[in-house]
Chain A
Amino acid sequence: MRVVAMIMAGGEGTRLSVLSEKRAKPSVPFAGKFRIIDFTLSNCVNSGIFDVAVLTQYRPHSLNDHIGIGKPWDLDRARGGVRLLQPYIGRNDQSWYRGTSDAIYQNLNFIKENRADLVLILSGDHIYKMDYNTIINQHVRSGADLTVGVMEVPLDETDRYGIMTTDEADRIVEFTEKPKNRDKGPLASMGIYVFNAEKLIQRLSEGNDDKPRIDFGKNVIPAMVAEDVVYAYRFSGYWVDVGTIDSYWETSLQLLDPNLDFDLFDPNWVVRTRSEERPAAKIGPQARVTQAIICNGCTIRGTVERSVLSPGVYVSPGAIVRDSVVMNDTWIGPGAVLDKVIVDKQVVVGAGARLGFGDDLDTPNKAQPDKINAGISVVGKSAHIPPGISVGRNVVINADRDAEDFPDGDVGSGETI
Chain B
Amino acid sequence: MLRTLALILAGGDSPALSVLTAERTEAGVPFGGKYKIVDFTLSNCVNSGIYNVGVLTQYRPRSLHTHLGVGRPWDLDRAQGGLRIFHPSPTPDGGGWQRGTADAVRYHLDVVEEQSVEAVLLLAGDHIYKMDYRPLLELHSERNADLTMAVRSVSPHDVRRYGIVGMGSDGKLDRFVEKPRRADSSLASMGIYVFRKQYLIDLLRRHPEADFGRHILPKIIGSTNAYGYNFQGYWADVGTVQSFYEANLALLAETPALDLYDPEWVIHTTSADRAGAEIGPQARVIDSLVSDGCRVHGTVIHSVLSPGVYVAPGAVVRDAVILNDAYIGPDAVVDRCIVDEDVRVGAGAVLGDSDDNTPNQTAPERLNTGLSIVGMFAQVPDGARVGRNVAIRPRTAAKAFPKDGVVASGSTL
Contacts and interface: CB of A to CB of B under 8 A. Distances in A.
Interface of A is mostly: loop
B228 interface: no
B287 A285 contact: yes
Given A277-B269, A279-B267, A289-B285, A265 B295 contact: yes
A296 B289 CA distance: 9
B285 A287 contact: yes
A295 B277 contact: yes
A31 interface: yes
Contacts of B284: 288, 290
B273 interface: yes
Interface string B29-63: 00011110000000000000000000000000000
A273 B289 CA distance: 22
Contacts of A286: 286
Q: Which of A270, A282, A284, A287 has the most CB of B within 10 A?
A: A282
B273 A294 contact: no
A149 interface: no
Contacts of A288: 284, 286
B94 interface: no
A280 B291 contact: yes
Among A34, A285, A297, A308, max chain B CB count under 10 A is at A285
A286 B286 CA distance: 7
Contacts of B276: 31-33, 293-296, 308-311
A210 to B, nearest CB: 49
Given A282-B289, A290-B279, A277 B273 contact: no
Nearest to A280: B33
Contacts of A72: 273
Contacts of A57: none
A8 B168 CA distance: 69
A63 interface: no
Interface in B278-307: 278-293, 295, 297, 302, 304-306
B236 interface: no
A297 B271 CA distance: 13
A34 B268 CA distance: 20
A271 interface: yes
A286 B252 CA distance: 12
A298 to B, nearest CB: 8
Contacts, number: 123
Given A270-B273, A279-B34, A289-B279, A294 B286 contact: no
B286 A283 contact: yes
A71 B72 CA distance: 10
Nearest to B283: A290
A372 to B, nearest CB: 26
Given A287-B286, A290-B281, A279 B32 contact: yes
Interface in A234-287: 256, 258, 264-265, 270-273, 275-287
A291 interface: yes
Contacts of A283: 285-290
B279 A296 contact: no
A33 B269 CA distance: 17
Interface residues of B, number: 44
Contact of A292 (B252, B267, B279, B306): B279
B275 interface: yes
A272 B32 contact: no
Interface residues of A, number: 43
A78 to B, nearest CB: 15
A284 B266 contact: no
Interface string A29-44: 0011110000000000
Interface string B66-97: 00000011000000000000000000000000
A284 B287 contact: yes
Interface in B131-170: none
Contacts of B277: 281, 293-295
Contact of A33 (B33, B72, B290, B292): B292
A277 B277 CA distance: 15
Contacts of B261: 278-279, 297, 299
A288 B290 CA distance: 14
B273 A272 contact: yes
Interface in A50-99: 71-72
Contact of B271 (A275, A282, A289): A275
Contacts of A32: 275-276
A323 to B, nearest CB: 13
A296 B292 contact: yes
Contacts of B289: 279-283
A72 B271 CA distance: 10
B109 interface: no
Nearest to A274: B271
Given A32-B276, A289-B285, A295-B277, A281 B290 contact: yes
Contact of A275 (B273, B280, B297, B305): B273
Contacts of A295: 276-277, 292
8 contacts: A33-B275, A258-B281, A264-B275, A275-B272, A280-B306, A281-B277, A291-B283, A294-B276
The 9 closest A-B pairs by CB, nearest first: A280-B33, A32-B276, A295-B276, A264-B275, A279-B260, A275-B271, A280-B291, A285-B287, A280-B289
Interface of B: 32-35, 72-73, 251-252, 254, 260-261, 266-269, 271-293, 295, 297, 302, 304-306
Given A280-B290, A294-B279, 12 more contacts: A264-B275, A265-B275, A272-B273, A278-B261, A280-B33, A280-B289, A280-B291, A282-B252, A293-B278, A296-B271, A296-B292, A299-B261
